[in-house]
Amino acid sequence: MLLKRIRFIVIIVSCSLLGIFLLQGYWLYNSYQLSAEQFDKEVAKIMQALRQKYVKTDMKKMGVPVDSLHMGKRIIGLERGKTDSFFLSFNNSAADLPELPDLNLDDTSRRSIKFSIVTHDTDSIKHDQVRTKFKKTEIFNVKDIYYSKQAFRNIAKPLIQDIDSLMLLNGINAPYALKFSNLSGLGEAYFTDSLLFQQLSPKLTKLKIGVLKPFYLDFSLNNNILFILRKMQWVLIASVIIIGITSWAFLYMLRTIFQQKKLSDIKNDFFNNMTHEFKTPIATVSLAVEALKNREISDNLTRSQEYLAICQHELKRISAMVDKVLKMAAFEKSEIDLSLQQTDIPQLIESVVTTMQPQLVNRQAKLRVITSEDMPEVMLDRDHMANVFYNLIENSLKYSDNEPVIEISCKCEGDHHLQITVSDNGIGIPTAYQDKVFENFFRVPTGDIHNVKGFGMGLSYVSTIIKMHGGAIKLKSKLNEGSVFTITLPVKPLNA
């Protein structure tokens, strides 16, 4: 049931996360489109500024006072006596740019154009009272306007300088190529870089440059990624932060869920083991009590003493198991206080071995203690450290198929550390579980959870006590060859 719930939560959160990613992607795409449009507008603005520069140059050549173009005036073009507004974009703003009209080449190529430039007061035009301030007339034929490739090459040099300066001013840095062609379509087009012009995407085509002797200019340019990224930088940063935080939260949630599931499984195994561990001595005591109720046994003093001894032994066993559970509970709450005192490690190990002598004899175990001479005393808690050695020796006895062979060695590591090694010839621990054996409630899977008695708390207790003493414990083990536990403890001075 729990696994199904976890799967459901993971699916729901994954779908939500996918939706967030899709929305972020859509948001970024729209932002990119807007930035690209802004880029195109900037390019168009640059080219319009370039056109205005050439218009002003031609106006000066015709003697038109250019300054008056930005003082409420307008310019009109005349063809066959009909008025056609060529430029209507001049007004009170000096930033406005003129726009050239499209000429019908099929028509204009057969006749001349009478091009008149007339300035009027804008206020007078509003009241239908046209007052001519200045008039200049030029007559030209589109067919007569012709540029050779060399002429275009000469025009290109200053024009490219103008484009570069305008692009730099607007923060655009991208490769571009130009195509020059005659308005009449005659002659051969000139490319500043024909290969690059074909590779780049055309931004603006058929731009009319100039008034007196106009020509077409095609402008090819790639989208400037740096320009677009600059425009999108805050959107990108916000998106990265949102996606990063969301992804981290999702992964952290998954990690927490699976850790909780793992902890739940471990605790379930612990309760199963604990139930089995308590059930055996309780059943033994129950049988002994039932036997004592029998008159024949109760009248037999010797038999009664035997059954009472069995009850006492099993009750002590239950008491010891309860103490273990309570100790681990105290460790979980960090309620253990160490009572440090100068301790002779070899002497402490010998006392533990003496206490465990009945168990060693019962398993026909061979235990050897090797110590160096002049071993310094160490500041530690004698009771807890004795329990550490007790747990390690007990594990060596429990996890040995044959007659256990245990070796405990103690030596100095430099002037500041003591190294204690506990090795055996037991069944060993698979490499996959060696990093987990020090976790609380963990037991190496053996296929039969009750094959070896225990709660999976012994090595966790050992590791905790060693760390509380400022030391470290390492495990080196090979399957079916045995295990080696190496403990390193700091040697503290007497006045520590």
Planar angle of CA 122, 126, 131, nearest 5 degrees: 55
Helix (H) or strand (E) holding 90: none
Note whether 310 and 288 are within 8 A (CB).
yes
Q: Is the full-model pTM beyond 0.75?
A: no
Q: Tell me the two tokens of residue 45.
A: 């603005």
Residue with tokens 């550490």: 388
- 231-333 domain in CATH 1.10.287.130? yes
> 380-398, pLDDT tens digit by residue?
888 888 888 988 998 888 8
Q: What are phi and psi of 218, to 5 degrees?
A: -105, 135
Residue 90 has pLDDT above 60, yes or no: no
Alpha helices (H) in 171-224, listed in sequence order? 194-199
> 439-480, pLDDT tens digit by residue?
776 777 654 444 555 556 678 888 888 998 889 999 999 888
Which residue ranges make up each domain of the chain?
Answer: 231-333, 336-496
pLDDT tier at 487, thresholds 50, 70, 90: very high
Residues near 272 by Cβ (< 8 Å), separated by ≥ 6? 449
- CATH code linked to domain 336-496: 3.30.565.10
